[in-house]
């Protein structure tokens, strides 16, 4: 502690006051407590220059910018710095934490969850789908949604509002939309995609509608705080919190067949009725759409990343549906460890540092006709170096029927150039 606190002085104009202030080298934290808000007492500290730039309260009018900082009347607060910061500060070394390599104090107040939820809550809606049966109105399903545009555009889940009859999607019935403020509207399904489980519902209002802001899911890391909002079990205005458990959970990990999909895994409490509701970060931005949970387990819930949802919305606006190119390749991302293992198994495995392995080619598919072979390693796609399946998907986008030049490496380092023409994927896959 001597390393951080050189000198502290205390003065008070009242008789009975408790003031506690501490700076610890182990946790690099600062705690200031007052039990007498009317007191005129002050605490002065002499703090090393290297620490000042990391303190979260710089610029506050109650602090004097000098060698001795004066602490005025404050409510209880706790500031916690990443443990790496304390160690590096002690060594006098620069610290890279978070985006851009800038130090971050990681400050979270006691109401950070409440503040984030409050930004989104007015835009969270309940959708109940009703159907008349022999003159009686019955509720068939209930889900959640979020107003993302002031024109009444609501983002929700497809399985809650549409039925699949072959390739035709039909609305399950009349959709009643209830806002947090109690207003009710009749909704209409504008677009839906069962493969991604995303749908757009529209309502019309003569008065302004609250909206929520879309964030970015690519910035999420395992351990980040997130908030799930919606109407589980018909309990409106429900908020649960947790952390991100995995940022790229594959559909194959969950035993879901068909085309490749990725989910955000969290430990937020999700139940029937939460589907379609927003997953929110601590900045009050939507980073996912809650879709499902593992029924036999607690703390295993899954959301569609908002970056994927944004692309789906763009497809809706451009084509009225989601267009997915299909090559007929099963692919696997390679890394140094996998490459090393494959070389041990087969000395003929090509010399590559990165790329995508093709373990299987579907007979009769565009890839088969283009000349792909099992064992090929894709190193270039449409003239760009690639090292992940995600990059290939982004390059293809919605390019159906347009030739794509591909470079692959084969056994004994044979380099082959191929041209493949994607077809539209079967929606039932």
Residues 372 and 281 both lie in one domain: no
Residues 381 and 400 both lie in one domain: yes
Range of the domain at 389: 325-424
Q: What is the pLDDT of residue 267?
A: 93
Residues 176 and 268 both lie in one domain: no
Asked whether the predicted pLDDT for residue 247 surpasses 90, the reply is yes
Using one digit for the tens of pLDDT, what is the confidence trace for 130-183?
766 666 666 677 899 999 999 999 999 998 888 765 455 666 678 999 999 999
72 confidence band (pLDDT: 50, 70, 90)? very low
Q: Is 132 helix (H, G, I), strand (E, B) or coil?
A: strand
Domain contains 127 = yes
Least confident interval from 6-10, 259-263, 308-312, 368-372: 6-10
Q: Taking Cα atoms as reference points, which of 197, 391, 211, 389 lies closest to residue 290? A: 197
268 confidence band (pLDDT: 50, 70, 90)? very high
Domain contains 162 = yes
Q: Which of 266, 295, 319 is the last residue of a domain?
A: 319
14 confidence band (pLDDT: 50, 70, 90)? very low
Q: What is the pLDDT of residue 99?
A: 47
Tokens found for residue 225:
């705080």
Tokens found for residue 134:
């022999």
Q: Which residues of 30-64 are buried (b: 16+ CB within 10 A; e: fewer)?
A: bebebeeeebebbbbbebeeebeebbebeeeeebe
Instruction: Compute the 3-state secondary structure of the chain and give helix, strand, coil in percent, each to the nearest 5.
Output: 15, 40, 45
Asked whether the predicted pLDDT for residue 63 surpasses 90, the reply is no
Tell me how far apart the alpha carbons of residues 404 and 372 are, in angstroms, rounded to a whole number. Answer: 13
pTM above 0.75, yes or no: no
Q: Taking Cα atoms as reference points, which of 293, 296, 299, 298 lies closest to residue 267? A: 299
Count of Cβ atoms closer than 10 Å to residue 333 Cβ = 15
Indicate the burial class of 302 (C-beta count within 10 angstroms; 0-12, 13-18, 19 or more).
buried
Domain contains 3 = no
83 confidence band (pLDDT: 50, 70, 90)? very low
Q: What is the CATH number of the domain that holds 333?
A: 2.30.42.10
Say which residue the tokens 């985006």 belong to: 99
Least confident interval from 95-109, 209-223, 275-289: 95-109
Q: Which of 279, 299, 319 is the last residue of a domain?
A: 319
Distance from the Cα of residue 404 to its chain's centroid: 31
Tokens found for residue 181:
């403020």
Domain contains 332 = yes
Question: In sequence order, what are the beta bridge partners of 202?
Answer: 153, 188
Domain contains 67 = no
Catalytic residue among 54, 193, 196, 197: 197
Catalytic residue among 128, 159, 196, 376: 159
Sign of CA dihedral 360, 366, 367, 369: positive
CA atoms within 13 A on the CB side of 159: 13
Using one digit for the tens of pLDDT, what is the confidence trace for 292-313?
888 777 889 999 999 999 999 9
Q: What is the pLDDT of residue 44?
A: 53
Tell me how far apart the alpha carbons of residues 347 and 336 are, in angstroms, rounded to a whole number. Answer: 15
**Residue 159 falls in the annotated catalytic set:** yes
Domain contains 33 = no
Catalytic residue among 275, 301, 303, 308: 275
Residues 332 and 291 both lie in one domain: no
Domain contains 124 = yes
Tokens found for residue 398:
């919605």
Largest CA distance in the chain: 89
Number of domains making up the chain: 3
Q: What is the mean pLDDT of residues 227-250?
A: 91
Looking at residue 277, the DSSP 8-state letter turns out to be P
Residues 306 and 330 both lie in one domain: no
Q: Which of 72-86, 125-139, 219-233, 293-307 has the highest mean pLDDT?
A: 219-233
**Residue 16 falls in the annotated catalytic set:** no
Tell me how far apart the alpha carbons of residues 230 and 415 are, in angstroms, rounded to a whole number. Answer: 53
Using one digit for the tens of pLDDT, what is the confidence trace for 87-100?
443 444 443 444 44
Domain contains 252 = yes
Asked whether the predicted pLDDT for residue 5 surpasses 50, the reply is no
Q: Which of 181, 203, 225 is the last residue of a domain?
A: 203
Q: What is the pLDDT of residue 185?
A: 94
Q: Taking Cα atoms as reference points, which of 396, 375, 368 lies closest to residue 331? A: 375
Count of Cβ atoms closer than 10 Å to residue 71 Cβ = 21
Q: What is the mean pLDDT of residues 320-345?
A: 91
Q: Which residues touch 95 (CB under 8 Å, ≥6 apart)? A: 82, 84, 85, 88, 89, 103
Q: Taking Cα atoms as reference points, which of 329, 325, 396 lies closest to residue 356? A: 329
**Residue 11 falls in the annotated catalytic set:** no
Q: What is the CATH number of the domain that holds 280?
A: 2.40.10.10
CA atoms within 13 A on the CB side of 104: 11
């Amino acid at each position: 502690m001597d390393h951080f606190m050189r000198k502290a002085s205390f003065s008070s104009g009242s008789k009975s006051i408790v003031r506690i202030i501490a700076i610890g080298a182990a946790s690099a934290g600062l705690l200031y407590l007052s039990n007498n808000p009317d007191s005129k007492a002050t605490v002065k500290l002499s703090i090393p220059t290297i620490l000042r730039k990391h303190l979260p309260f710089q610029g506050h009018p109650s602090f004097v910018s000098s060698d001795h900082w004066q602490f005025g009347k404050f409510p209880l607060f706790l500031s916690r710095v990443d443990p790496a910061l304390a160690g590096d500060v002690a060594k006098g070394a620069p610290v890279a934490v978070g985006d851009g390599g800038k130090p971050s104090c990681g400050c979270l107040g006691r109401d950070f969850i409440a503040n984030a939820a409050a930004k989104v809550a007015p835009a969270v809606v309940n959708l109940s789908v009703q159907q008349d049966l022999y003159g009686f109105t019955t509720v068939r399903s209930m889900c959640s949604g979020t107003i993302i545009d002031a024109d009444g555009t609501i983002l929700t889940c497809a399985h809650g509002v549409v039925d699949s009859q072959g390739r035709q999607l039909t609305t399950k019935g009349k959709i009643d939309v209830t806002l947090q403020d109690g207003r009710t509207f009749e909704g209409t399904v504008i677009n839906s995609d069962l493969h991604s489980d995303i749908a757009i519902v529209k309502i019309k209002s003569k008065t302004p509608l609250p909206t929520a802001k879309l964030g970015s899911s690519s910035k999420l890391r395992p351990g980040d705080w997130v908030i799930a909002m919606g109407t589980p079990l018909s309990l409106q205005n429900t908020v649960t919190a947790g952390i991100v458990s995995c940022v790229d959970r594959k559909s194959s990990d969950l035993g879901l067949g068909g085309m490749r999909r990725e989910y955000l895994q969290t430990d937020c409490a999700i139940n029937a009725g939460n589907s379609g509701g927003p997953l929110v970060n601590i900045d009050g931005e939507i980073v996912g759409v809650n879709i499902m949970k593992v029924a036999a387990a607690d703390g295993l819930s899954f959301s569609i990343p908002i970056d994927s949802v944004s692309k789906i919305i763009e497809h809706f606006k451009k084509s009225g549906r989601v267009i997915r190119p299909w090559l007929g390749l099963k692919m696997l991302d390679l890394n140094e460890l996998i490459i090393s293992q494959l070389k041990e198994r087969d000395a003929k495995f090509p010399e590559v540092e990165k790329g995508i392995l093709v373990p299987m080619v579907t007979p009769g598919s565009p890839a088969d006709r283009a000349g792909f072979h099992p064992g090929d390693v894709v190193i270039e796609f449409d003239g760009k170096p690639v090292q992940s399946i995600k990059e290939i998907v982004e390059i293809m986008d919605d390019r159906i029927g347009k030739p794509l030049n591909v470079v692959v490496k084969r056994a004994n380092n044979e380099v082959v150039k191929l041209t493949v023409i994607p077809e539209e994927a079967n929606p039932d896959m």
